[in-house]
Amino acid sequence: MPIPLKPAEVSGQPPVEPDEVRKLTASADAAARRKQNLGGVKKIIGIHSGKGGVGKTFVTVNIAYALADRGHSVGIIDGDVDCPNIPAFLKAGYTLYVDEHKRFKPVTHRGVKIISMGFTKEDATEPFLLRGPAKHRVAIDFLTNTNWGDLDVLIIDLPPGTSDVPMSYLEFGELSGIVYVTTPQKEAVIDTKKSISMGKTFAMHPIGLIENMSGGVFGAGKGQLLAFETGIPFLGSIPLSEAIFEKNEAGEIAFLDEKLAAVVAPILDGIEKLQNQKK
Ligand SMILES: Nc1ncnc2c1ncn2[C@@H]1O[C@H](COP(=O)(O)OP(=O)(O)OP(=O)(O)O)[C@@H](O)[C@H]1O
Ligand SMILES: [Mg+2]
């Protein structure tokens, strides 16, 4: 059930400027920092599709807050370095700070720790102009140079595509599994299939696939077929819904109702099962 909004936990240090993010990311040794900053993180999970706009962020926040409601400590990395969308779901504005060790300090929203490039700019419409290597550094630094503390699950909302940032996370993220999201349109199915193949290339464990925005003009069923074809578990469908859309448009998280929560439940169970296994 929804928990009241908490203000961001801030260090009192000056907020991080986008340029500063790049400087911080260019320095130190990621392996040592990984040990230091990810040592308390039990599992890292990715949410992916090769296709943009299929609802990855919507699914990410639903999984994250549902896990938090089950009593887990949860973090989210907004993996979209140049077009971050997580802040649009949080209503309140947040600012990224660094701690005394020059590590990023995630903001805390309803008990979930979140980091996003969106927290470095006040104007959400201002572009980030970053070439591939800079995006890679930001991606790895969000992972390894953030003071995550102890977390049961860290969820990475991966950007669309099969290169660049998603590749950085699949290659260096030590992910325990990926949840794939598609919509029923053929382009989305084709691009999601690419991301599933990409996951196989990087030996990722496929937790399962969700068909989002199912029904209505988009039709339904191609997601299930894709899951069958690729041999990964089909987790269920989330309908194309005016209520979900309107809630998200209002800058709030559209939490799944009880019936739809059934789609997320196997993911939560799967993640909990992964937690009992070794990294
Ligand atoms: N089931 C749904 N019904 C109606 N609207 C939805 C549904 N799922 C997501 N949306 C809306 O679709 C839009 C895209 O969703 P979202 O931002 O989660 O996609 P995304 O895959 O993360 O996009 P990107 O590739 O840009 O990161 C948002 O406006 C969201 O509110
Ligand atoms: Mg997104």
179-235: pLDDT as tens digits: 999 999 999 999 999 999 999 999 999 999 999 999 988 899 999 999 999 999 999
Return the closest-CA partner of residue 58 out of 266, 269, 246, 274: 246
Separation of 245 CA from ligand 1 center, angstroms?
A: 8
Residues in CB range of 194: below 8 A, 6 or more apart = 50, 162
Closest-lying ligand 1 atom to the alpha carbon of residue 245: 5
Tell me, what DSSP letter sits at residue 15?
A: B
Q: How far apart are CA 250 and CA 248, in angstroms?
A: 5
User: Helix axis angle, 132-144 relative to 164-172, nearest 10°?
Assistant: 40
How sure is the predictor about 154, in pLDDT bands with cuts at 50, 70 and 90?
Answer: very high
Residues contacting ligand 1 via CB (< 6 Å): 52-58, 80, 85, 159-160, 212-213, 238, 240-241, 244-245, 248
Closest-lying ligand 1 atom to the alpha carbon of residue 239: 1
Tell me, what DSSP letter sits at residue 201?
A: H
Separation of 202 CA from ligand 1 center, angstroms?
A: 26
For 81-117, how does the pLDDT look when each residue is reduced to its tens digit (9 = 90+)?
999 999 888 877 788 888 888 889 999 999 999 999 9
Q: What is the mean pLDDT of residues 231-244?
A: 92
Q: Which residue has the tokens 């971050």?
A: 84
Separation of 89 CA from ligand 1 center, angstroms?
A: 10
Q: Which residue has the tokens 């929203």?
A: 109
| Beta partners for residue 210, in sequence order | 181, 236
Residue 19 has pLDDT above 90, yes or no: no
Separation of 54 CA from ligand 1 center, angstroms?
A: 5
> What pLDDT is stored for residue 217 in this prediction?
87
> What pLDDT is stored for residue 222 in this prediction?
94
Round the average pLDDT of the chain to a whole number and report it: 87
Residues in CB range of 98: below 8 A, 6 or more apart = 11, 13, 16, 20, 24, 104, 105
